[in-house]
Structure 1
Amino acid sequence: SRYWHGDNLPFDGPGGILAHAFFPKTHREGDVHFDYDETWTIGNNLGTDLLQVAAHEFGHVLGLQHTAVSKSLMSPFYIFRYPLSLSEDDKQGIQYLYGKPKQDPDPTPTQPSELPQPDLETNEITNVEPVQPDACDTAFDAAATIRGELFFFKSRYVWRLRAGKLQDGYPALASRHWQGIPSSVDATFEDPLGNIWFFQDSQYWIYDGERRVSGPTPIVELGLPAAPVQAALVWGAEKNKIYIFSGGNYWRFNPHTRQVDNIYPRTMADWRGVPQEIDAAFQDEFGFAYFLRGRDYWKFDPVQVKVLEGYPRQISQDFFSCAPSS
């Protein structure tokens, strides 16, 4: 199944939620749904192992809930293991529900360790890290102004700021906005036509709003080297200049021709006061550029063409109202 598929429990594209199943004595008891957009494999870690996820979901169909035992098949977080095997906790769980084999005279097994569970009809297995990144303790992968709002990206997650305030419900999975987005984003920008570009490793994707229109496409087709893009910046009053940064160099990119200008690359020395290597960049509504590296940022003056005095400053403190860190 893909995204919305008739049970009010939509999938979210690659990564995130892998599958879900319905418990016994529910209106869909026995149903198991798999996310079509995962890269499914059998017996290797080149994608998501279908047999392992299926066995987990069949456990739910039989009545097993999630367990706090990390090595259990019924752990809520997917970690590839081969060959597939049941832990003692898995065995105790199924025997608690259905009893031990008749030839085994041992006493009734103790109840397995379980996480507290709400009274739901279904359980999901995900490969998302169990703890969301904390904006107060995070070096972001990418940032961009999109539709007048500021987005920060880290791993599979996105933070959304409007008028300087973090919006309710964030951080959230980036795939909730952009279905099929790569599992992490190296750089992103919104071009003058409103298209949103995402870069990961040596490929890029283009979205019209939340709809993917192309990608993945090799970045060498843009005239860039086959190396990960570190940051992208929409620059200028008309927002018609786009700069792409990688490996201490930068290129000016024309989104209409989808090619970099032939006088590039140039070195980061042109951006006076900006670090040689950066993680992300964006422009605010007043024309100032922001360059992120680690947990710090530098504010760049478009008139003086250099970093303002008093920088770097902490991203967490100025954008997320966190306490200053040492």
Structure 2
Amino acid sequence: FNLFLVAAHEFGHALGLSHSNDQRALMFPNYAYISPSEFPLSPDDISGIQSIYGSPPNAPDKRPTTPSSPKVCGSQMSFDAVTALRREVIFLKGRHLWRVYPDNSEAERELISAFWPNLPPGIEAAYENTKDQILLFK
């Protein structure tokens, strides 16, 4: 299973979407692995969410042909994983992580290798269990 696709499917339910009869749809009830980097939303998924929330205003005619690098605080910024560990929230992106503590709104940025020296790249999720063990998913 791919955590991104399972979470996206469940997020669809949280937004009000039901299961789809379209086998290509994210909201199809049976899981089929598709690489997240190659996953397009099906027309059924798009029309389903637009039937609830409406079409986007000023929708662009086409997607940009060249990807742009997101600014750290830009609206296009995305993270590889976000998790709460102990009393802090950790955002992972590429080789970096940002730590946010409950008593400080400023995020501290550092290299993942400084925090976890032997960690392989490509972390998709992290979880801390009741035994204070941190489980990382790639």
Q: Taking CA–CA contacts closer than 8 Å with sequence separation of 6 or more, which of the two structures ends up with the larger relative contact order?
A: 2
Q: Would you say same fold, with TM above 0.5?
A: no
Structure (1 or 2) with the greater strand fraction: 1
Structure (1 or 2) with the greater helix fraction: 2
**Could you tell me the TM-score, scaled by structure 1's length?**
0.19
